[in-house]
């Protein structure tokens, strides 16, 4: 190998090392607003924090993370009679229509979403183990199937009952788990029961 080629390879390798080493690890951020607080990593963004349209007593907080990971907190009055099971069913029912419409090109349907499966799951919510619902579904887009994991939990307080949903493509479940767990486990609401 000539000295010019060796120099080019060495320079390229050093450049890659500098780029890789210059990436900062995400830091922990704090959210606190209107009786809700949680921590989240700096590579996650709060995409929405507002009342739900036509329902001023219902609030939606949407966090988006790397690799299409999502955590949604729906804050409803504590007197709401909707159960976690009902909420998970509504989300599953709307999912198919919403995704298929969003991924259609004009009148051409390019995606197919199955109804998926549902089973109990246990996870840490607000510092304690809780039972929730785990769903798996598949989105087929142009012949390629993408599996998704969705978890639902509920947290009750004096100001809100919070319906919690986390969703991530299954291929990114492991890498997204720390970010999702930080949000859900650190979640606190006023008058937590």
pLDDT at position 100: 65
Q: Cβ(57)–Cβ(50) under 8 Å?
A: no
Q: Is residue 12, in this structure, part of any structural domain at all?
A: no
Range of the domain at 102: 27-189
Q: Is residue 146, in this structure, part of any structural domain at all?
A: yes
Q: Is residue 16, in this structure, part of any structural domain at all?
A: no
Query: Per-residue pLDDT for 128 more than 80?
Result: yes
Q: Is residue 22, in this structure, part of any structural domain at all?
A: no
Q: Is residue 83, in this structure, part of any structural domain at all?
A: yes
Whole-number Å distance between alpha carbons of 114 and 134:
15
Whole-number Å distance between alpha carbons of 177 and 146:
18
Q: Is residue 128, in this structure, part of any structural domain at all?
A: yes
* Prediction pTM value: 0.82
Give the CATH number, domain containing residue 181.
3.40.1000.10
Other Cβ atoms less than 10 A from the Cβ of 158: the count is 12
Q: Is residue 107, in this structure, part of any structural domain at all?
A: yes
pLDDT at position 55: 87
Per residue in 57-97, pLDDT tens?
Answer: 899 999 999 999 999 999 999 999 999 999 999 998 888 66
Number of structural domains found in the chain: 1
Q: Is residue 183, in this structure, part of any structural domain at all?
A: yes
Of 108 and 56, the structure prediction assigns the larger pLDDT to 56
User: What's the pLDDT band for 7 if we cut at 50, 70, 90?
Assistant: very low
Q: Cβ(187)–Cβ(126) under 8 Å?
A: yes
Tokens 């259609």 label which residue? 104
Q: How far is CA 71 from CA 3, 15, 29, in A?
A: 53, 36, 15
């Amino acid at each position: 190998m000539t000295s010019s080629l060796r120099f080019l390879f060495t320079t390229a390798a050093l450049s890659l090392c500098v780029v890789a080493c210059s990436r900062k690890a995400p830091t922990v951020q704090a959210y606190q607003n209107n009786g809700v607080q949680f921590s989240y990593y700096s590579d996650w963004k709060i995409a929405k924090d507002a009342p739900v349209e036509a329902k001023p007593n219902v609030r939606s907080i949407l966090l988006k993370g790397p690799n299409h990971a999502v955590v949604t907190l729906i804050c409803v009055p504590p007197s709401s009679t909707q159960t976690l099971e009902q909420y998970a069913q509504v989300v599953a029912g709307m999912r198919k229509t919403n995704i298929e419409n969003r991924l259609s090109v004009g009148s051409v349907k390019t995606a197919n979403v199955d109804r998926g499966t549902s089973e109990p799951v246990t996870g840490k919510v607000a510092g304690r183990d809780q039972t929730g619902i785990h769903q798996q579904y598949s989105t087929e887009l142009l012949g390629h199937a993408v599996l998704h994991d969705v978890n639902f939990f509920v947290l009750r307080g004096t100001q809100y009952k919070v319906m919690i949903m986390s969703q991530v493509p299954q291929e990114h479940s492991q890498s997204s788990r720390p970010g999702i767990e930080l949000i859900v486990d650190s979640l606190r609401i006023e008058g937590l029961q």
